[in-house]
């Protein structure tokens, strides 16, 4: 690329300088059409991005940046099956998992859709038989509890989606998720479950992931101890490609569901990894989830950049990260059932774009991915919103809200909506010194009290946010929301020129943990590590009553 990304991003600074002198409150006062100018839709999903530090020249510059880095060409390359995951020499084709069209989708010259549809058909058959009681446990009891054992993408996506779609689940078929190798997670999940009515799903592509296989082994022991070794085959299924290891574990071949190396873990909820979601909500609803993602894919692939929701959100994130230096981004769903959505997006975004070298392996001269965090509203308003409103760091935020709740419990939802609209308005407007003084004067305070209180009650305002509003949190809408953020990550990774689809940063800790385990167990000498690690090991052994 003739012009470096650093130069392109630095060119945004003139826009920052101009907007530093014109807060959003003034922009709204001058332009009654600002909402119309800075909102866009994808089907039933509306994005209001008017409460951002932007004007028309700024947005034009951001779209020019997208074209300068050939975002459209990179987008085309991804959908064409090019190996854009260069460090692992793989295509990135999670969009194929939810593709609804009838054209071939090729990777390395081979149409992958027959394989995708075959796995979906097997999932549908299995899901139907478990849910109607045709598939039962070893004693003939129908399953009432299903425990998914996975970690990372094999856990975060399914657990997020299952919780989000709780209105579509059945009371007599409960889904549980175990990810942490901490024995407390498995122990507390199994406590109160009946082995005769419990099925386990082991989610590990290689069937070697240490945390997952440790939990799987303990779960296997729990079933074998209660029901006998022969019962294992009736109580386990696997999401894996390692058929030999699954067979050795005792899992029947028709209960093994595979996926492919062009499916990254954090993009895998659309694949066999989504089996627990399908079991929880039924396959028809799982198909609607896929359909919603497909609709967003089509919007992303075909819509002009200036009206393209993932492009707009991605470029705004670049604007704040690189021009303004804002290091974090909050995702604030006003929906209790989306309580795991921010955690899901943490992996999707931070594992994707948390990189310090570019695609050529050279150190980045610019900042890459921000810290993603958040919790549901309104709980957060009584916790960390203080920092968002009056802290020294500016934190851009996304607010999410459905117009229609699943529950008919007025006035709960009306109060929820009032709060989310108020928060974005408050972040934009703030409260000036003059407004605070007028408010305190109206309350009858004397001049000394007003002078003392005024600095504490002022809000700087001019703090940016997006609002995403949609009719209802249905399976289809959830699919669209997840795909929206997937494509946002792609946009930002393209601008920053990083590989958004590898995750070497997780490897070092795993390697060191494997080497340390014998020392933790006391079967190897406590030597060869740094002084801190040696000291911690020695103190651990002392606390456990183990002789050094």
* 125: its two tokens: 């058959």
Cβ–Cβ under 8 Å, residues 256 and 243:
yes
- Measuring CA to CA, which residue among 336, 369, 331 is closest to residue 482? 331
Q: Is 40 helix (H, G, I), strand (E, B) or coil?
A: strand
Given the residues 6, 433, 472, 510, the one annotated as active site: 510
Kindly report the pTM of this predicted structure: 0.97
Measured between alpha carbons, how far is 33 from 320 in angstroms, rounded to an integer? 24
| Residue 519, CB-side half-sphere exposure with 13 Å CA sphere | 18
Contact between residue 431 and residue 399 where contact means Cβ atoms under 8 Å apart: no
Spatial distance between the Cα atoms of 175 and 187, rounded to a whole number of angstroms = 15
Q: What is the DSSP annotation of 60-105? A: HHHHHHHHHTTHHHHHHHHHTT---BTTTTB---GGGGG--SSS--
pLDDT of residue 547: 74
Residue 332's SS3 state is strand
510 is known as an active-site residue: yes
pLDDT at 1: 56
pLDDT at residue number 2:
53
Region of residue 430 (left: phi > 0; alpha: psi -120 to 50; beta: else): left
pLDDT at 521: 96
The CA distance from 149 to 136, in Å, is: 19
The closest alpha carbon to 520, from 488, 495, 544, 490, belongs to 544
pLDDT in tens, the chain (548 residues): 557 898 988 999 999 999 999 999 999 999 999 999 999 999 999 999 999 999 999 999 999 999 999 999 999 999 999 999 999 999 999 999 999 999 999 999 999 999 999 999 999 999 999 999 999 999 999 999 999 999 999 999 999 999 999 999 999 999 999 999 999 999 999 999 999 999 999 999 899 999 999 999 999 999 999 999 999 999 999 999 899 999 999 999 999 999 999 999 999 999 999 999 999 999 999 999 999 999 999 999 999 999 999 999 999 999 999 999 999 999 999 999 999 999 999 999 999 999 999 999 999 999 999 999 999 999 999 999 999 999 999 999 999 999 999 999 999 999 999 999 999 999 999 999 999 999 999 999 999 999 999 999 999 999 999 999 999 999 999 999 999 999 999 999 999 999 999 999 989 999 999 999 999 999 999 999 999 999 999 999 999 999 76
Q: How far apart are the C-alpha atoms of 236 and 252, rounded to whole Å?
A: 8
For 132, other C-beta atoms within 10 Å of its C-beta total 9
CB-based contacts of 362, cutoff 8 Å, min separation 6: none
Domains and CATH numbers, the chain: 5-68+303-429+463-499 (3.40.50.10490), 107-282 (3.40.50.10490), 431-460 (no CATH), 507-543 (1.10.1390.10)
What lies within 8 Å, CB to CB, of 96 at 6+ separation is: 105, 107, 112, 113, 116, 262
The C-alpha atoms of residue 77 and residue 80 are separated, in whole angstroms, by 5
d(CA 484, CA 199): 33
- Which entry of 211, 351, 375, 486 is annotated as an active-site residue? 351
Residue with tokens 């000036």: 432
- Whole-number pLDDT of residue 548: 63
What six digits make up the tokens of 19?
């907007």
pLDDT at residue 230, rounded to an integer = 97
Q: Which two tokens stand for residue 435?
A: 């407004």
C-beta neighbour count of 163 within 10 angstroms: 18
| Catalytic residue flag (residue 382) | yes
Query: Residue 21 catalytic?
Result: no
Q: How many CB atoms lie within 10 A of CB 71?
A: 21
| Rg, Å, the chain Cα set | 26
């Amino acid at each position: 690329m003739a012009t470096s990304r650093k130069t392109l991003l630095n060119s945004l600074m003139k826009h920052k300088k101009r907007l530093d002198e014109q807060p959003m409150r003034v922009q709204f006062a001058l332009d009654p059409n600002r909402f119309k100018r800075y909102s866009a839709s994808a089907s039933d999903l509306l994005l209001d991005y008017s409460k951002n530090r932007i004007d028309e020249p700024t947005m034009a510059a951001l779209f020019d940046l997208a074209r300068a880095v050939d975002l459209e060409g990179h987008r085309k390359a991804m959908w064409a099956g090019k190996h854009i995951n260069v460090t692992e020499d793989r295509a990135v084709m999670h969009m194929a998992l939810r593709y609804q069209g009838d054209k071939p989708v090729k990777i390395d010259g081979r149409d992958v859709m027959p394989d995708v549809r075959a796995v979906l058909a097997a999932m549908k058959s299995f899901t139907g038989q478990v849910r109607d009681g045709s598939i039962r446990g070893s004693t003939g009891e129908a399953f009432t509890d299903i425990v998914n054992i996975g970690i990372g993408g094999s856990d975060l996506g399914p657990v997020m989606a299952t919780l989000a779609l709780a209105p579509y689940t059945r009371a007599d078929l409960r889904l549980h998720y175990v990810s942490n190798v901490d024995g407390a997670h498995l122990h507390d999940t199994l406590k109160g479950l009946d082995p005769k009515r419990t099925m386990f799903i082991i989610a590990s592509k290689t069937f070697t992931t240490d945390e997952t296989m440790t939990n799987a082994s303990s779960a296997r022991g729990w079933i074998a101890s209660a029901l006998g070794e022969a019962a294992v085959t009736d109580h386990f299924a696997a999401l894996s490609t390692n058929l030999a290891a699954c067979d050795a574990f005792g899992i029947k071949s028709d209960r093994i569901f595979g996926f492919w190396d062009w499916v990254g873990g954090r993009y895998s909820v659309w694949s066999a990894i989504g089996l627990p979601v399908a079991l929880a909500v039924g396959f028809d609803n799982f198909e609607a989830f896929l359909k919603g993602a497909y609709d967003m894919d089509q919007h992303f692939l075909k819509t002009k950049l200036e009206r393209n929701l993932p492009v707009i959100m991605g470029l705004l994130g670049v604007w704040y990260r690189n021009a303004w230096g804002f290091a974090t981004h909050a995702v604030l769903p006003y929906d209790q059932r989306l309580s795991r959505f921010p955690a899901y997006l943490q992996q999707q975004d931070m594992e994707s774009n948390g990189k310090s070298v570019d695609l050529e392996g050279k150190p980045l001269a610019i900042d890459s991915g921000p810290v993603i965090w958040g919790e549901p509203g309104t709980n957060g308003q009584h916790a960390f919103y203080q920092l968002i409103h009056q802290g020294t760091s500016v934190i851009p935020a996304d607010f999410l809200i459905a117009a229609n709740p699943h529950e008919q419990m007025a006035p709960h939802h009306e109060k929820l909506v009032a709060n989310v609209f108020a928060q974005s308005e408050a972040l934009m407007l703030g409260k000036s010194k003059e407004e605070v003084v007028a408010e305190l004067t109206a309350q009858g305070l004397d001049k000394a009290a007003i002078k003392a209180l005024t600095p504490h009650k002022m809000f700087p305002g001019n703090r940016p946010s997006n609002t995403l509003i949609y009719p209802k949190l249905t399976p289809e809408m959830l699919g669209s929301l997840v795909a929206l953020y997937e494509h946002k990550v792609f946009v930002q990774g393209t601008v920053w020129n990083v590989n958004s689809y590898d995750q070497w940063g997780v490897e070092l800790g795993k390697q060191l943990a494997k080497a340390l385990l014998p020392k933790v167990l006391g079967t190897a000498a406590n030597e060869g590590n740094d002084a801190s690690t040696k000291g911690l090991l020695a103190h651990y052994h002392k606390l456990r009553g183990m002789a050094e």
